[in-house]
Amino acid sequence: MKTVAIAFLLLFTIYQTASTQSLKTKIVGQVVDQVTTQPLIGAEVFVLVDSIVLGSVTDLDGRFALEQVPVGRHTVYARYLGFEDLARNNVLVTTGVAKELVLPMTESIAALQGVEVVAKKDRSETVNASALVSTRSFSVEEASRFAGSFNDPARMAQSFAGVVNGDDENNEIIIRGNSPRGILWRLEGLEIPNPNHYRSGEGGSGGAISMITDQVLANSDFFTGAFPGEYGNALSGVFDLRFRNGSTDERKISLQAGVLGLQVGAEGPIGRDKNASYLINYRYSTVTILEAIGINFTDENEITPVFQDLSFKLNFPGKGGNRWTVYGLGGRSIAGSDPVRDSTQWNQFDDKVHYDETYTTGILGVSNNTIFKNQKTSLHTVASVNYQADLYEDYIIQQDYSDQLWEDSEFSYLDFRLASNLSHKFSSAFSLKTGIKLNQLGYSVLQTDWLEDTENEYETVLDDEGSALFTQVYAQALLRPSEKLTINGGLHAGYFSLNGQTLFEPRLSMQYQLTARSSLQAGMGLHSRLEPVSLYLAKDKLDDGTLVQRNKDLGLTKALHLVAGYEFLPTADWRIKIEGYYQSLTDVPVFDDGSFRISSLNFSSGFTNVQLINQGLGRNYGGEATVEKFLSNGTFFLLTTSIFESQYQISEDQPWLDTRYNLNYLFNALGGKEWNIGKEKNNLFSVNGRIIYHGGPRIIPVNFDQSQAEGRTVRDTDSGYSTQFDPFFRIDLSAAYRKNKEKLSWQISLDLQNALNRQNVLSAFYSLRRNAYQEFYQLPLLPVLNYRIEF
């Protein structure tokens, strides 16, 4: 606590710092058609500074430059004949880096009819024009401002309606009661492996630390249901991420040091063509360095975690909106534990497990965007090679303190992915987008387990290599029959060669503008997601010793999403949104042998070699409310409330049971205040906070008598996840100070996760040493201090 107090005192002292020089910089960027990405030539772009207009007109490539813009927050306006006016609010301008923007504009039906267009200031507008329901756009600046987010898009999303984290130690998220396994990660338009360090396991979507930092991220979309037709292989949610382009104005360097890592970034124009640019960022774990000099963050029985990652993007624009890009993301992380070799200190089975893990991820992609001469048609093609490998070994410490190999797994996947889509805008009221995705999924999987309770021998449950083709096609039409009504209809279909599974998924969503400030939304769609390849290939031994792959022909879980919502914008700075939903899940893989019952709806990660059959059911339903004040006059806040149920059935003749993720209710409140300080108001000081309150985690009840008799934790699977702990409550706080100088800017920030150091229960088990039921808790107070300089 002394360290935290000193850090806050430092921030408060810096807050008193004064500046005597008025500092100015520039805003540069490009204005494009939102549907075709065609550059808009001659568009007006301007900001208002004390009633003075600082303006620019876009050139033949749609680019603009606003000179002599004072540091601080500004609204950037764009106007173009025949298009709806655009207002990008709260653009943070600092020294050291020129602000670069891409401003997508929507062609106006009303303008063609001679009706005056009023500037839109809806800060909730999404990046994807087809996203009409259950979607939230987020920016890099928001990710850095939300307390407890650690500049991580997944942790930031936990503040949105219907979204919650299952464990403080990682960023895995639960959406509307669904398993975290149902999330699709996309980067630059293609599916990617889980982009997190210390991944949560096979099929898991989260980890401890994101490989994608705010230094490289552009504005992106997050979906929580009823996705448009272009999104496939997603059951519960979609992160549609994009890397920003590097600066085309000048070369920039950024350095950052903090508890989580040391980071260096660089960007700037390439060669003589200043429209081409590069962006690169590298990070290395600080914990390793600090422990090398004697500052310890891990327990004595834990191996010091090590991670590093690299991300980059090269952008080569051509004439008329044509462009090539090359992008990449790579990361490697190592973790493990070496328990105390004293059996009197062991409370549960995990206390005597010695393990080592290594995670490796590599993504390399190239994309091309071509605008046809008619300026109404565009072709976007992207190809990537993705590599992911997880190596894991664990040993059980015996009574003589020797190591017995318990599990040895080597999973590696090499995927080649290609996606191409053709968009054509027939008119301002109708556009069509069709596409194909080819995914060559290569795999090499090996796992050996020790069968102590039966044969006392090793069994190979996985040993396979090869590849499978997953083909997806889609079409979606965006129709605006009137100024008030927008309809997006589509179809997504696919085929998985490994087991011959097909999918056919219709999608439909609409938005009706009741008034200039209120609208109704509705959506429906059928969705599904492949299981981890290892689950299809897992082997089980028959009585005669023959090995079989029981789940090779397992079908896909299907989820029908129904959504309806209402949105009201009382002013340009406020948004109120209410949304209700119902999800019906069918063909759920389950196992039931009379004494042991499981449903894949409760899996967070991993695989099994028991035979699953597609006879399970599930249902998620609830309501969500959001009240949001966008940042204005230095203040913002976001309030979200969700009430929901998440249940499953092993089969139609079995009772409905609570899923692992049925928290019942969820409340988030976050907000912040920032002040321009110094004599010329060049510097920025901010404080932010977040409150999270929801129903406690659920577990399958511990059968104490049977656990006592067998000397291990035994659970009662017949009652599902009926044990629910006390409500979860956590407060996160953050403070930051940014100093702008003539040629550079720097920022110091402090994030406190679980600022009150509250003990929230995570799970429970039977303790053999204590012969008692014992609970264990989520993370205590976690302070994260960062310093960043940009020049």
Q: Tell whether 499 and 618 lie within a shared domain.
A: yes
**Is 248 a member of any domain?**
yes
Name residue, tokens 């994009």. 242
Tell me the backbone φ, ψ of residue 514, rounded to 5 degrees: -65, -50
Per DSSP, helices labelled H in 258-402 are: 286-292
In the chain, the percentage of residues whose pLDDT exceeds 90 is 53
DSSP run (H or E) holding 22: none
Please tell me whether residue 785 adopts helix, strand or coil conformation: strand
pLDDT band at 117 (very low <50, low <70, confident <90, very high): very low
336 pLDDT exceeds 70?
yes
2 pLDDT exceeds 60?
no
Q: Mean pLDDT in the chain? A: 87
**Is 115 a member of any domain?**
yes
Give the strand pairing for 665-677 and 683-694.
antiparallel
More confident residue, 710 or 419: 419
pLDDT band at 258 (very low <50, low <70, confident <90, very high): confident
Distance CA 587, CA 582 (A): 17
- CA nearest neighbour of 598 among 587, 611, 579: 611
> What does the DSSP 8-state code read for residue 781?
-
**Is 135 a member of any domain?**
no
More confident residue, 535 or 396: 535
253 pLDDT exceeds 70?
yes
Give the strand pairing for 24-33 and 99-105.
parallel
Task: Report CA torsion sign: 138, 144, 149, 155.
Answer: positive
Residue 414 CA from chain centroid, whole number: 22
**Is 15 a member of any domain?**
no
pLDDT band at 716 (very low <50, low <70, confident <90, very high): confident
- CA nearest neighbour of 508 among 228, 223, 127: 228
**Is 683 a member of any domain?**
yes
CATH number, domain of 30, equals 2.60.40.1120
Q: How many domains does the chain have?
A: 2
Distance CA 241, CA 220 (A): 5
| pLDDT given at position 302 | 60
- CA nearest neighbour of 585 among 552, 609, 555: 555
Please tell me whether residue 142 adopts helix, strand or coil conformation: helix
3 pLDDT exceeds 60?
no
Contacts 24+ apart (CB under 8 A), 737-740: 737/11, 737/14, 737/15, 737/683, 737/684, 737/685, 737/686, 738/94, 738/683, 738/684, 738/685, 739/14, 739/17, 739/19, 739/683, 740/19, 740/23, 740/71, 740/94, 740/95, 740/96, 740/682, 740/683, 740/684
Tokens of 213: 């930092």
Q: Tell whether 242 and 196 lie within a shared domain.
A: yes
Q: Tell whether 112 and 154 lie within a shared domain.
A: no
Range(s) of the domain holding residue 72: 24-121
C-beta atoms surrounding 142 within 10 Å? 21
Contact in structure between 66 and 27 (CB atoms under 8 Å): yes
Contact in structure between 485 and 512 (CB atoms under 8 Å): yes
CA-CA-CA-CA dihedral for 145, 235, 723, 657, to nearest 10: 150
Distance CA 662, CA 299 (A): 33
Mean predicted confidence (pLDDT) in 248-273:
87
Contact in structure between 635 and 671 (CB atoms under 8 Å): yes
Distance CA 31, CA 223 (A): 25
Domain boundary among 121, 137, 158: 121
CATH number, domain of 729, equals 2.40.170.20
Contacts 24+ apart (CB under 8 A), 76-79: 76/27, 76/45, 76/46, 76/47, 76/101, 76/103, 77/44, 77/45, 77/46, 77/47, 77/48, 77/119, 78/31, 78/43, 78/44, 78/45, 78/103, 78/105, 79/43, 79/44, 79/119
| pLDDT given at position 122 | 44
Q: Tell whether 228 and 333 lie within a shared domain.
A: yes
| pLDDT given at position 329 | 97
Q: Tell whether 246 and 311 lie within a shared domain.
A: yes
Query: Full-prediction pTM beyond 0.85?
Result: yes
**Is 12 a member of any domain?**
no
292 pLDDT exceeds 80?
no
344 pLDDT exceeds 90?
no
Mean predicted confidence (pLDDT) in 72-84:
89
Contact in structure between 532 and 203 (CB atoms under 8 Å): yes
**Is 5 a member of any domain?**
no
Mean predicted confidence (pLDDT) in 479-507:
94
Tokens of 152: 């991580």
Tokens of 385: 């090679």
Distance CA 127, CA 774 (A): 47
Per DSSP, helices labelled H in 662-717 are: 704-710
74 pLDDT exceeds 90?
no
C-beta atoms surrounding 692 within 10 Å? 22
Distance CA 641, CA 735 (A): 25
Distance CA 218, CA 99 (A): 12
Distance CA 375, CA 424 (A): 9
Those residues with Cβ within 8 angstroms of residue 83's Cβ, 6 or more apart along the chain or in another chain? 33, 40, 43, 105, 106, 107, 108, 111
> What does the DSSP 8-state code read for residue 516?
S
| pLDDT given at position 291 | 61
Mean predicted confidence (pLDDT) in 346-372:
87
> What does the DSSP 8-state code read for residue 715?
B
| pLDDT given at position 453 | 59
112 pLDDT exceeds 50?
no
More confident residue, 285 or 312: 312
Distance CA 634, CA 281 (A): 30
| pLDDT given at position 315 | 94
| pLDDT given at position 300 | 53
Q: What's the alpha-carbon Rg for the chain, to the nearest Å?
A: 27
pLDDT band at 361 (very low <50, low <70, confident <90, very high): very high
In this predicted structure, which of 22-26, 173-177, 589-593, 752-756 has the lowest mean pLDDT?
22-26
C-beta atoms surrounding 336 within 10 Å? 17
587 pLDDT exceeds 90?
yes
Q: What is the per-residue pLDDT across 630-672, written as a single tens digit (0 to 9) for each? A: 888 889 999 999 999 999 999 999 999 999 999 999 999 999 9
Question: Letter for the amino acid at 166?
Answer: G
Q: Tell whether 641 and 724 lie within a shared domain.
A: yes
Q: Tell whether 195 and 240 lie within a shared domain.
A: yes
- CA nearest neighbour of 143 among 128, 134, 132, 153: 153
Q: Tell whether 106 and 223 lie within a shared domain.
A: no
Q: Tell whether 42 and 163 lie within a shared domain.
A: no
Mean predicted confidence (pLDDT) in 372-398:
91
pLDDT band at 486 (very low <50, low <70, confident <90, very high): very high
Instruction: Quickly list DSSP for 64-116.
Output: EEEEEEESEEEEEEEE-TTB--EEEEEEEE-SSS-EEEEEEE-B-HHHHTTPP
Those residues with Cβ within 8 angstroms of residue 706's Cβ, 6 or more apart along the chain or in another chain? 714
| pLDDT given at position 118 | 39
In this predicted structure, which of 398-407, 578-587, 721-730, 770-779 has the lowest mean pLDDT?
398-407
**Is 76 a member of any domain?**
yes
Q: Tell whether 164 and 203 lie within a shared domain.
A: yes
Name residue, tokens 């680019």. 63
Q: Tell whether 494 and 600 lie within a shared domain.
A: yes
Q: Tell whether 97 and 65 lie within a shared domain.
A: yes
Distance CA 159, CA 668 (A): 6
